[in-house]
Amino acid sequence: MATPSGLIRALHRGTLGQNMVMDRIFSGIQPTGTPHLGNYLGAIQNWVNLQEECSSVLYSIMDMHSLTMPKEPAVLRQNILDTTAAILACGIDPKKCFLFRQSLVPEHAELAWILGCLTNVPRLLRLPQWKMKRASQNNEGTVGLLTYPVLQAADILLYKSTHVPVGEDQVLHLELAQDIAQHFNKKYGEFFPVPKAILSTTKKIKSLRDPTVKMSKSDPQKLATVNIADSPDEIVLKFRKAVTDFTSEVTFDPDGRPGVSNLVSIHAAVTGLSIKEVLHQSAGLDTARYKMVVAESVIQRFAPIRNEIKKLQEDKSHLMKVLEDGAEKAKELAAPIYQEIRRMVGFQ
């Protein structure tokens, strides 16, 4: 298995490790229930590594962000608990990080208003997520959907975070947070560090049914997405039905052979092997047999996580207490920072 430092890299020069002092890391995940394979390999796995490398780490269940897409209250409540159970089962340790629910720290929303007053609307209208998600709402996107990148900036800046693990599709949002931090500093005086991005070296995990798009919880094709709590039979079925092509050899060519290349990326990520090592091990296998090799690797990786999720889901009070305790710690950290912001902008 690669070392944690080898799995992640800073987007803006330098590598994470002994050569870079990291003051504070912030990241969040929307509560969509049990995460899928792409969430795990692209984000949660890195979160586990980062909590070992940095002494100040905050991870938030972004329940406020989840309201940008319609959800029933009962579904949201359950999703919050299921997401919490899953990331704990994956190895997130509340003793090594602050794990909390975003809405339990009201300063997030209050700071978002202040930062929103420094952000121009045309900048938000240009963000691709606004265009894409607005289309899914019959082109009647809400104010929350338009301005949630400002709330993301507040999430990060409220704790004076210096580094943020992000996916490639969130880089533009982090750039907005960087610009907002600089705008605030220019207007009110140096205060916020300009946060840098940390990108995973794991290849983006694609849909098993359409390897031209990323794996997604909202994919209408049930066989497209592997959830980390899926049973072994479900995992085998999904990989057996995975779209490849008419060439039987296992190769890695994301542009020419996206389907089989996605399988190779998944295989490498769950085993900790390099792409080259995976191809060497798979020499002589046709794609049908190779699908089962990848499925078995995923099953083995997720078996202990799946069992732990089931145990944690049986104790809702424990999950709620973890989030409440984390929120209290986050509030203690945020309070003096936000009080200084209030003073700087003239509220007190």
Q: Which residues are catalytic?
A: 133, 214, 217
Secondary structure of residue 92 in the 3-state scheme: coil
Q: How many CA atoms lie within 13 A of 174 on its CB side?
A: 23
End-to-end CA distance of the chain: 52
Contact (CB, 8 A) for 90 and 32: no
Sign for the CA dihedral angle at 228, 233, 234, 238 comes to: positive
If 0-12 CB within 10 Å is exposed, 13-18 middle and 19+ buried, where does residue 296 land?
middle
Sign for the CA dihedral angle at 151, 160, 53, 84 comes to: negative
| Dihedral angle over CA of 173, 89, 79, 171, nearest 10 | 10
If 0-12 CB within 10 Å is exposed, 13-18 middle and 19+ buried, where does residue 191 land?
middle
Rg of the Cα trace of the chain? 21
- State the Cα–Cα distance between residues 341 and 50, nearest whole angstrom: 28
For 30, list phi and psi in degrees, rounded to 5.
Answer: -75, 140
- State the Cα–Cα distance between residues 301 and 60, nearest whole angstrom: 24
Pick the closest to residue 90 from 52, 55, 47, 38 (CA basis): 47
